Every structure is written in structure tokens, then in C-alpha cells.
Amino acid sequence: MEDGLEDGTAGCGQCWATLSLGVARWELKGQATRRPEGKGETSPPPLFFPPCSLTMWTFMLLGLLCASASASAIQARSSSYNGEYGSGGGERFSHSGHQLEGPITALRVRVNSFFIVGLQVRYGKVWSDYVGGKLGDLEEIFLHPGESVIQVSGKYKYYLRKLVFVTDKGRYLSFGKDTGTSFNAVPLHPNTVLRFISGRAGLFVNAIGLHWDNYPSNYASNCRSNC
């Protein structure tokens, strides 16, 4: 967040410098084009806005533009990504569009004796498409109202073997077997949560990617208390 503020402040400084130079050039140009009085030449008609008024409005407009740029920089710094964890086989999938339905509210994970076979995630009240194979036991866990995933760890070897979703309520939602290469993923920016997943899947889940961002503001007032 501090980096975002610094970038926004630096951008504003450049904007102010550019505007100051432009105003100085405008004033110099105005002085250069004034005609001497008493030489039989008429002076140009006065501007609708006096120069000081024009300068004031220009600086005010630039201030608004800089504030908007700073806010955009800060918002852009809220998202982060971890992954992919696993192998490169299978077909690529992404739930990027499903995040518009709301926060993650439930998980379905199919497992067998060795691998994570399939995945399905509920966003708001809408389930994503199921990815992966059909053999194995399907486990389903619902998050509490307002509960979010803030950490994901697991293991993989050829395919995903284990997934553990840690929530901000202190719950550990574990699926699969404890064998393979370990990974641990957390968001880069504070106060952000798991917003959607991506990865690769075929007969099993080959790989997973984790996308973090702010909890959706349109759900903050109603879904956290009654989802």
C-alpha cells in the first residue's frame, strides 16, 4: 500500500511540474503577443477568464486528475497471484469471470487414494464448472458467512496430491494425501483474500493458480452478516 501511495505521489509531482511549465509558457506567450498602446493599434479583447482565474481552475483540474491516478495505483496494488503449482499437462481453466458472482462461499474437492481428482468452487451462490475426473470421493465444505480463504498450501507430484485452505476464522480445510513437493501461498498485499482459482486439469487436477484481491465491496455490507 505504501508503494502505491509513493507511486501515486510521484505521478502527481510530475503532473504538477508539467502544468507549471505549461502555465509559465502561456503567461510568456500572453506577454509576447501584447501590442504596445498608443501606436495606433487596438489591444486584443480581454479573456473571459482572467489569467489568475484560468490558472486556478487549471490547477484544480490537475489536482482531481492526480487524486484519481493515485487511487487507481493503490487499487491496482491490491491484487496478486501465486502459482502455477503442479505439472503442465491437462487443459487450462480459469474462474476469473466467476468472481463477479461474489466471494468464495464453498468448495467441492474430489480425491482418490493418490491425487486431487477434481475441483469446483462456489462464488456467491453460483457454482463454477467442475474440472477434473469423475473417480473418487467428493468432499464438500461451505464457508461461514463472511469467512474468506487467506492461505493455501498443498503438495504435488505430476498431479496435485493435497490442498489445504486456511480461512480468516482459523479453520483448516484439508483435502488429499500428505505426499509430494510442498507449496505454500499467501497474498502479497495485506487484508486481501482468495478471489478465484485457475490451473490445468484432465483426468486429475494437474496444477492450480491462486488469485488474491480485496473482498468484494458489494458483499461487505450484506453477505458477511447474511450470505
pLDDT tens, position by position, 136-178: 999 999 999 999 999 999 999 999 999 999 999 999 999 999 9
CA-CA distances (angstroms) from residue 80 to 45, 102, 216?
A: 57, 18, 15
Tell me the per-residue pLDDT of 200-225, one tens digit each, with 9 for 90 and over: 999 999 999 999 999 998 775 455 44
The model's pLDDT over 8-45, given as tens digits with 9 standing for 90+, comes to 444 445 544 444 444 445 444 445 444 445 445 555 55
> What pLDDT does 155 receive?
98
Quick one: cell of 132?
Answer: 477434473
CA dist 163 and 85 (Å) reads 11
Measured in residues, the chain has a length of 227
The structure's pTM equals 0.67
Task: Report how far apart, in Å, the C-alpha atoms of 145 and of each of 126, 148, 169, 182 are.
Answer: 15, 9, 11, 30
pLDDT at 63: 64
Q: Distance (Å, rounded) from C-alpha 150 to C-alpha 179?
A: 23
User: Looking up cell 453460483, which residue turns up?
Assistant: 126
Residue 110 has pLDDT above 50, yes or no: yes
Q: What is the pLDDT of residue 55?
A: 64
What is the pLDDT, as a whole number, of residue 32?
46
Give residue-wise pLDDT tens across range 51-91: 545 566 665 666 666 555 555 545 558 999 999 999 989 99
What local confidence, expressed as pLDDT, does residue 59 receive?
A: 59
For residue 203, what pLDDT is reported? 96
Return d(Cα 121, Cα 129) in angstroms, integer. Answer: 8
pLDDT at residue 169 in the model: 97
Residue 197 has what pLDDT? 98
**Residue 4's pLDDT is what?**
43
User: Is the distance from CB of 150 to CB of 194 less than 8 angstroms?
Assistant: yes
pLDDT tens, position by position, 124-137: 999 999 999 999 99
